[in-house]
């Protein structure tokens, strides 16, 4: 029975990682299309799904929160990853509200989207390192 449980955990974690990879691809594409809000949103989603994959893999189950820092802290992620989760959370919030985006010029929006995508990529890489599939 134990092997079935391990297999299930690996399959579930793999599903979440696959979704995270798809969201990251979407984030990169959105930057190319100059759709910076969507790039930030997809980057946050990628990181969230990757962190949830690690939680599942580590036996914590699916933690139902959108707070990246909560997930990263539960996983005892290194400070560099915690910093990236904070950055992504701030971009994600700003990308959802039109009045927040109006505070930035076009270059700042592009820079924020690029930073968000790079942060998500780094988080995804760290998460993959935690899961040995």
For the stretch 45-104, pLDDT in tens is 999 999 999 999 999 999 999 999 999 999 999 999 999 999 998 876 665 666 655 555
Contact 131, 13 (CB under 8 A): yes
For the stretch 2-49, pLDDT in tens is 777 788 888 999 999 999 999 999 999 999 999 998 999 999 999 999
Q: How many domains does the chain have?
A: 1
Any idea what the CATH number is for the domain that residue 67 is in?
A: 1.20.120.330
Contact 71, 56 (CB under 8 A): no
Return contacts of 49-52, CB within 8 angstroms, 24+ apart.
49/16, 49/17, 49/19, 49/20, 49/23, 50/16, 50/17, 50/20, 50/120, 50/123, 50/124, 50/127, 50/128, 51/75, 51/77, 51/85, 51/123, 51/127, 52/16
Which residue range(s) make up the domain with 107?
2-130
């Amino acid at each position: 029975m134990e092997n079935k449980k391990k297999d299930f955990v690996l399959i579930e974690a793999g599903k979440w990682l696959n979704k995270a990879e798809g969201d990251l691809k979407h984030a990169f594409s959105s930057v190319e299309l100059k759709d910076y809000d969507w790039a930030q949103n997809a980057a946050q989603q990628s990181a969230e799904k990757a962190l949830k994959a690690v939680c599942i893999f580590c036996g914590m189950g699916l933690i139902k929160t959108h707070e990246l820092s909560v997930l990263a802290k539960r996983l005892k992620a290194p400070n560099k990853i915690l910093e990236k989760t904070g950055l992504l959370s701030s971009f994600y919030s700003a990308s959802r509200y039109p009045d927040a985006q109006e505070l930035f010029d076009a270059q700042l929006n592009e820079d924020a989207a690029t930073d968000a995508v790079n942060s998500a990529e780094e988080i995804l890489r760290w998460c993959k390192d935690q899961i040995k599939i």
